[in-house]
């Protein structure tokens, strides 16, 4: 899609038949199960600054869920260092695996191909499930992992889609262009949920809405991610040359089980960013009340999804999405194969949503989940407020391929696949060959004993005969030609010392 993008997913974790579980301890131990023979957290936090705001200032503090204070108090009693609690690992496929706020989190490597990203997102599921199997064997009880976004008790955890984009675009222009899209994207990117929820817990059980995260947004724009969440997040961590790039840190989306929904969510967003960079998105797209609209669209039982624009006119989410689509068809058509795939499928999906959403049960998570729940309600004679449905809702997101309801649909051939199991298996072990993730993953694979630390945009090595470590910056590797150059030199270098020397000579 002509830009780097990736997905960060926090997973729900619990133990089978256990009512009280320490999620921090279980997350730490799960991650340690990835590589018990050499568990050495190597993540370098020195260049991370979640307080830096894209609007040009640094926040004094970040808002946290009230329960986070209890987690912090418990952490002080664990006799573990910050690094041990985070258990932060970089994997040889270029991905990151760590404990984030009582959830195991998997961040895909940077990708520039849509289907490559889908494979790496699914690779994250498989890697975490492998860890769960190892941990279960050690515990003597099953560790259960869920790729969802809510626990029905007032807690929501994230799935963040990230996009590298031009720093030249003023933030106000980015906000104006992306806000209406983010609010309406849920009609095909939502994963569905039983009930309405606030930070205090479930307020209405007998209800099905199309998205899991929409209940949890309370401000339009903010640097926060855990409490008083914004629709548009302003964290300014480009992990690339800050003079050239910013990173759109999208926290508004659900964690998709469907490969198709993941591709459509990320692909359409990438094209909308293209339009914003080209200054193609008109001002009349602005919404009158985005916070009201994002919840009402998710909860609308008629699937008309209507709301007011800032100019006072009424419009449907489908029609506003069609406006974005029309701009993309006019200005972006024919750029690349995956761009053309997105344009075709975007239009097809909007047509089906307008005609009959049930036709999309093989592609969209919320439609598939609702079909499963309605089938179960009919068979068992239940009502929508039966607590059993919450359990079934959760099991849709179980990443165990032998137990999860989504994977039952997949095994029955009832959902559309975009990547093969062989491609997912390859993504478990190999980084994307055409991005800087290759340099990160292969450096670890070839020279693990001499890797001191890693960040998204640098690798630090201990060199023989040198007292001080040497850092290789990948800051410029957001550029495809620079990434190819560094990756080629890495392949040709047999030692770390030769790698550093060859990179220096190539400048």
Rounded CA-CA distance 303/353 in Å is 8
Neighbour count for residue 44 (Cβ, 10 Å): 18
Separation between Cα atoms, residue 367 and residue 191, nearest integer Å: 8
Q: How far apart are CA 237 and CA 244, in angstroms?
A: 12
List, as own/partner pairs, every contact residues 299-306 make where C-beta atoms lie below 8 angstroms and the sequence separation is at least 24, other chains included. 299/196, 299/207, 299/209, 299/214, 301/208, 303/353, 303/357, 305/184, 305/187
- Rounded Cα distance between 161 and 109, Å, is 12
Q: Tokens 């998570």 map to which residue?
A: 365
Beta bridge partners of 202: 197
3-class secondary-structure state, position 494: coil
* C-alpha triplet 273, 278, 283: angle, nearest 5°: 80
Q: Report how far apart the first and last C-alpha atoms of the chain are (Å, whole number).
A: 28
Burial 238-276 (b: 16+ CB within 10 A, else e): bbbeeeebbbbbbbbbbbbbbbbbbbbbbbbbbbbbbbb
d(CA 299, CA 287): 18
The full length of the chain comes to 507
Residues 111 and 435: beta-carbon distance below 8 Å: yes
The residues annotated as belonging to the active site are: 100
């Amino acid at each position: 899609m002509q830009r780097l993008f990736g997905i960060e997913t926090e997973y729900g974790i619990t133990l089978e038949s256990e009512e009280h579980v320490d999620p921090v301890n279980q997350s730490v131990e799960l991650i340690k199960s990835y590589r018990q023979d050499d568990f050495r957290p190597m993540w370098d936090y020195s260049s991370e600054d979640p307080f830096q705001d894209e609007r040009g200032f640094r926040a004094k503090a970040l808002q946290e869920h009230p329960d986070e204070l209890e987690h912090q108090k418990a952490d002080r009693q664990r006799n573990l260092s910050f690094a041990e609690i985070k258990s932060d690992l970089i994997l040889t496929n270029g991905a990151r695996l760590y404990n984030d706020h009582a959830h195991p989190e998997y961040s895909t490597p940077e990708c520039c191909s849509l289907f490559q990203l889908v494979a790496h997102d699914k690779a994250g599921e498989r890697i975490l499930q492998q860890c769960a199997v190892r941990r279960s064997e050690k515990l003597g009880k099953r560790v259960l992992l869920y790729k969802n976004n809510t626990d029905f008790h007032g807690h929501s955890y994230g799935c963040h889609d990230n996009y590298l984009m031009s720093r030249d675009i003023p933030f106000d222009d980015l906000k104006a262009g992306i806000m209406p899209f983010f609010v309406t994207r849920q009609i095909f990117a939502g994963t569905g949920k039983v009930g309405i929820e606030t930070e205090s817990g479930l307020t209405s059980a007998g209800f099905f809405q199309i998205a899991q995260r929409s209940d949890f947004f309370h401000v339009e724009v903010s640097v926060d991610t855990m409490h008083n969440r914004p629709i548009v997040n302003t964290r300014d961590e480009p992990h690339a040359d800050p003079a050239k790039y910013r990173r759109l840190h999208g926290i508004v989306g659900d964690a998709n089980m469907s490969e198709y929904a993941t591709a459509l969510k990320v692909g359409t967003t990438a094209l909308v960013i293209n339009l914003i960079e080209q200054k193609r998105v008109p001002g009349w797209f602005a919404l009158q009340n985005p916070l009201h609209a994002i919840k009402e669209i998710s909860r609308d039982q008629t699937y008309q999804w209507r709301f007011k624009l800032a100019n006072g006119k009424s419009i449907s989410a489908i029609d506003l999405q069609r406006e974005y689509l029309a701009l993309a068809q006019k200005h972006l058509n024919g750029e690349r194969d995956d761009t053309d795939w997105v344009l075709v499928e975007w239009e097809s999906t909007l047509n089906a949503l307008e005609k009959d959403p049930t036709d999309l049960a093989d592609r969209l998570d919320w439609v598939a989940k609702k079909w499963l729940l309605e089938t179960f309600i009919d068979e068992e004679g239940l009502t929508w407020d039966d607590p059993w449905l919450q359990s079934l809702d959760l099991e849709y997101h179980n990443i165990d391929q032998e137990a999860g309801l989504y994977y039952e649909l997949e095994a029955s051939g009832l959902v559309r696949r975009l990547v093969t199991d062989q491609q997912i298996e390859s993504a478990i072990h190999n980084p994307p060959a055409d991005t800087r993730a290759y340099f990160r993953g292969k450096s670890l694979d070839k020279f693990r004993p001499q890797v001191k630390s890693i960040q998204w945009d640098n690798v630090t090595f201990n060199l023989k005969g040198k007292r001080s470590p040497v850092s290789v910056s990948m800051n410029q590797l957001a550029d495809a030609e620079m990434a190819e150059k560094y990756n080629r030199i890495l392949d040709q270098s047999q030692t770390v010392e030769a790698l550093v020397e060859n990179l220096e000579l190539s400048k």
